[in-house]
């Protein structure tokens, strides 16, 4: 039936939305891990500078590296913000799909109940022929 196909398509859509949400969560987690690794690199570099491990010769290279790390951190923060928004949108799309699936299931159940009632009414209204067991 058409209603069954619509319900199956909606169930597939809900599953797909859930998979897309999980993929977005994984992307966001990977971005946050990269940002944490960047912060650890920055902290290690600053710690080395504080200890005087670099001579005056390597100070400029360390400064360039710190600027590069800061730029990358800014880019990762912006990317994480975009991914957080995309994840929120995926979640909302999933909720909408689930709500629509629920409405379709209810409509499908109502239609099945309506058909059952009509079948019973047809059975009651159908004229009964002579009973074969009576003479």
Q: What pLDDT, on a 0 to 100 scale, did the predictor assign at position 115?
A: 94
Q: What pLDDT, on a 0 to 100 scale, did the predictor assign at position 134?
A: 56
Phi-psi region of 126 (alpha: psi -120 to 50; beta: other; left: phi over 0): beta
d(CA 24, CA 93): 13
For the chain, domain boundaries: 2-122
d(CA 53, CA 78): 33
Burial (CB count <10 Å: 0-12, 13-18, 19+), residue 17: buried
Extended strands (E) in 7-88: none
> Distance between terminal CA atoms of the chain?
44
Q: What pLDDT, on a 0 to 100 scale, did the predictor assign at position 132?
A: 59
Q: What pLDDT, on a 0 to 100 scale, did the predictor assign at position 42?
A: 92
d(CA 113, CA 78): 52
For residue 76, the number of C-alpha atoms closer than 13 Å in the C-beta half-sphere is 19
User: How confident is the prediction along the chain (135 residues), in pLDDT tens digits per residue?
Assistant: 677 898 899 999 999 999 999 999 999 999 999 999 999 999 998 888 777 766 676 788 888 999 999 999 999 999 999 999 999 999 999 999 999 999 999 999 999 999 999 999 888 877 776 665 655
- Contact by Cβ (8 Å): 34, 118: no
């Amino acid at each position: 039936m058409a209603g069954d196909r619509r319900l199956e398509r909606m169930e597939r859509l809900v599953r797909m939305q859930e998979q897309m949400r999980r993929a977005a969560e994984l992307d966001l987690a990977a971005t946050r891990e990269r940002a944490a690794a960047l912060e650890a690199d920055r902290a290690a570099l600053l710690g080395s500078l504080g200890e005087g491990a670099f001579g005056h010769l390597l100070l400029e290279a360390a400064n360039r590296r710190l600027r590069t790390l800061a730029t990358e951190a800014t880019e990762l923060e912006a990317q994480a913000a975009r991914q957080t928004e995309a994840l929120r949108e995926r979640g909302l799309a999933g909720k909408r799909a689930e709500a629509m699936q629920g409405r379709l299931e209810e409509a499908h159940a109502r239609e099945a109940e309506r058909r059952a009632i009509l079948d019973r009414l047809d059975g009651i209204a159908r004229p009964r022929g002579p009973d074969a067991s009576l003479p």
